[in-house]
């Protein structure tokens, strides 16, 4: 319209010049408006993509899967979310789902289909879930076979008041979202460990989870309390283990990592302990370590009565970004405890880096801080200790509902 008006007033030659100017201006204007619109559309699209991560807490495990409202359809995504030394544990990711429908454990030698025992002894990979809330009281140890995931999300599952979980000479195990408590010594009985084998079991210690000669193990988002021996023990050459996002309460000897001072095969042990909450009613061993390499990172220690971290037989312990709240007892302010009478412990590589010490808590370091030793004992980057409250706020078994972020 503008160009037509100008052409009426001016000569034909001048009009051509103005028309050219108008065309160029319109094209330029179109590209500017188109560019702005496209950037707006693209930014909106990118924001929608980022919406999946909008519930992020900074906890890399949780942020990997918990923001997904369709977590129940995408359960196996969890297997891609492990961190630390146990990050390659895939559990039953490559197998079928197995739904536990029966909480009974009537026959440890010939378990019924639909029971948890029948699921864990199978020779093939399985991702094990539960049809409904249940309390499972095991008559004898639950002896797991390789490539299994026990996934308690979406229901309230307790393994309690009987035997508990044994991970022995197997690999690739994930245990997630279970309440494990009041475990008792059992044994002197026949127990099946695979479809083709059962054998005699002597008396078990009564651990919540016993890891024996096994590798690529991930124990995540469980609530553990009040067992006869340890809540989680890993011994006899076990390695490539991550213990994360668990809530530990009401127990004496919480966690043992390493069989004995003389069992030197545990030098291969590598364990990551991350984002756990060590809560009320705990006394010692969070953990107690021997021989191997241990990364204790971004955990919340809100109670101990004797000490938090102990060890013997020259373990390397790398404590980073934890929050240690000492008890009121003036004789239990020290985070660390060495089981050694002489000064030999002064050569063990134990360090505290970026830890937050509260109410008089203190960490006694030792060793030369050799970079190579701590590199081997480091399994992920530590976050600031000021973030520990957020990182561990959802430790323990989660309450997850279908159609909602977990």
The yes-or-no answer on residue 285 being catalytic is: yes
Q: Give me the number of domains the chain comprises.
A: 1
Q: Is 6 exposed, middle or buried (0-12, 13-18, 19+ CB in 10 A)?
A: middle
Looking at residue 45, what is its pLDDT?
Answer: 31
Confidence at residue 33, expressed as pLDDT on a 0 to 100 scale: 42
Whether 14 is covered by a domain: the verdict is: no
The pLDDT of residue 18: 39
309: nearest Cα among 249, 351, 353, 268: 351
CA 105 – CA 109 distance, rounded (Å): 10
Is 53 a domain residue? no
User: Which range of residues forms the domain containing residue 89?
Assistant: 60-391
Residue 168 lies in a domain: yes
pLDDT at 371: 86
Residues 241, 84: Cα–Cα separation, whole Å: 8
In a domain? residue 99 = yes
Catalytic residue among 285, 290, 323, 338: 285
Does 42 fall in a domain?
Answer: no
Domain annotation covers residue 5? no
> Splitting the chain (406 residues) into consecutive groups of 10 residues, what average pLDDT does each group show?
38 42 42 41 34 70 96 97 98 98 98 98 98 98 98 98 98 98 97 97 97 98 98 98 98 98 97 98 98 98 98 97 97 95 90 98 92 93 97 97 93
Task: Give the per-residue pLDDT at 222.
Answer: 98
pTM: 0.87
On whether residue 32 sits in a domain, the answer given is no
Q: What pLDDT score does 348 carry?
A: 96
CATH code of residue 345: 2.160.20.10
CA distance 75 to 165: 22
pLDDT at 189: 97
Cβ(289)–Cβ(338) below 8 Å: no
* Residue 31 forms part of a structural domain: no
């Amino acid at each position: 319209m503008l160009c037509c008006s100008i052409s009426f007033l001016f000569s034909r030659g001048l009009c051509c010049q103005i028309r050219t100017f108008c065309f160029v201006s319109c094209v330029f204007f179109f590209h500017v408006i188109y560019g702005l619109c496209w950037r707006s559309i693209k930014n909106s699209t990118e924001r929608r993509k980022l919406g999946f991560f909008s519930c992020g807490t900074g906890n890399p495990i949780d942020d990997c899967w918990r923001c997904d409202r369709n977590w129940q359809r995408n359960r196996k995504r969890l297997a891609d979310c492990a961190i630390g030394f146990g990050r390659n544990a895939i559990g039953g990711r490559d197998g079928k789902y197995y739904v536990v429908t029966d909480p009974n454990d009537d026959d440890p030698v010939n378990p019924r289909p639909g029971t948890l025992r029948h699921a864990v002894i199978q020779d093939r990979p399985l991702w094990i879930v539960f049809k409904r809330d249940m309390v499972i009281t095991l008559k004898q140890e639950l002896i797991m076979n390789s490539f299994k995931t026990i996934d308690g999300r979406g229901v309230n599952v307790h393994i309690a008041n009987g035997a508990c979980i044994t991970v022995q000479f197997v690999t690739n195990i994930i245990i997630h979202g279970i309440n494990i408590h009041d475990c008792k010594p059992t044994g002197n009985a026949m127990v099946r460990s695979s479809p083709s084998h059962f054998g005699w079991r002597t008396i078990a210690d009564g651990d919540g989870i016993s890891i024996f000669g096994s590798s690529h193990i991930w124990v995540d988002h469980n609530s553990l309390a009040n067992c006869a021996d340890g809540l989680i023990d890993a011994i006899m050459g076990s390695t490539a283990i991550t213990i994360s996002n668990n809530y530990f309460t009401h127990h004496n000897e919480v966690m043992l990592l390493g069989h004995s001072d003389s069992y030197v095969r545990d030098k291969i042990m590598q364990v990551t302990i991350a984002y756990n909450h060590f809560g009320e009613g705990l006394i010692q061993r969070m953990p107690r370590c021997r021989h191997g390499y241990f990364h204790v990172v971004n955990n919340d220690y809100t109670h101990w009565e004797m000490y938090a971290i102990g060890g013997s037989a020259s373990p390397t312990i790398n404590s980073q970004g934890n929050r240690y709240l000492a008890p009121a007892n003036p004789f239990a302010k020290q985070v660390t405890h060495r089981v050694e009478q002489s000064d030999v412990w002064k050569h063990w590589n134990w360090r505290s880096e970026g830890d937050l010490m509260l109410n008089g808590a203190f960490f006694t370091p030792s060793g030369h801080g050799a970079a190579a030793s701590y590199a081997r004992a480091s399994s992920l980057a530590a976050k600031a200790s000021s973030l520990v409250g957020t990182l561990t706020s959802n430790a323990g078994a989660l309450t997850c509902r279908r159609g909602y972020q977990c």
